[in-house]
Amino acid sequence: MKRFDMRILIGIVLIVAGSMYLLQNLGIFYGGVNLLGAIAVGSAGIASLYVYANNKENWWALIPGTTLIAIALNILLDTISYSLGNMLGGGIVLGGIGLSFWLIYFTQRGSFWWAIIPAGALSSLAVIPVADAIFHDAGGIFLLGLGLTFLFIANLPGYDGQLKWAYIPGGVLIAIGAISLPFMGNALNILFPLALIAVGGYVLYQNFRE
């Protein structure tokens, strides 16, 4: 099979860009300049992925590839709906960067377990804009995501227990994140006194049993 020629992509991009620019100048279509930017940035991202596809050793190309495509999607969304772009734009870009590190790990494996840390952190940050709009306080969700990332590292197969240290930061982050969740304040007001009652009851039970 003949390899894909990058000149085809360049030609298509130039034709679409010229058409949009012409339509905007004629007053037929608005937002063409933003869309031109999205096409240019997205094309650069596709070109980076093409570099990786040609040589799997160029794993670094996944980072600009997915990042630039995410930025292009952000520009496109902002052009279609400013309010949605304002709310989701940051998450899309952070998610795109995080996706690149997930791809690095799942395609390279081996000693590339470190890619899981930025992947998990950026993926957790990516959901913050939406979670913050719903709960108005999403710091706990970020800590939970980061804690789950470390637990995932601790359970990676093939490392003969060398990554078990990740249980410590994972457990601590999940505990702090769970306490920091917006609805946990009201829950703790009930759970904490119940816990005191349970402990007190257990002490009395042990005393009378003896």
Q: Which of 70, 27, 30 is nearest to 49 (CA)?
A: 70
Contact 68, 106 (CB under 8 A): no
pLDDT at 34: 75
- pTM for the whole thing? 0.70
pLDDT at 1: 42
Query: Residue 56 gets which letter from DSSP?
Result: T
Tens-of-pLDDT digits for all 210 residues of the chain?
455 566 776 777 777 777 766 766 666 666 667 777 788 888 889 889 989 988 888 999 999 999 999 999 988 888 777 777 777 788 889 999 999 999 999 988 777 889 999 999 999 888 887 777 666 666 678 888 899 999 999 988 877 778 889 999 998 988 888 777 766 655 556 666 667 777 777 777 777 776
Contact 75, 37 (CB under 8 A): yes
For residues 90 and 26, give the distance between their C-alpha atoms in angstroms, rounded to a whole number: 33
pLDDT at 102: 93
Q: Which of 156, 65, 148 is nearest to 104 (CA)?
A: 65
* Side-chain half-sphere exposure of 36, counting CA atoms within 13 A: 15
For residues 50 and 10, give the distance between their C-alpha atoms in angstroms, rounded to a whole number: 13
Residue 149, classed as helix, strand or coil, is: helix
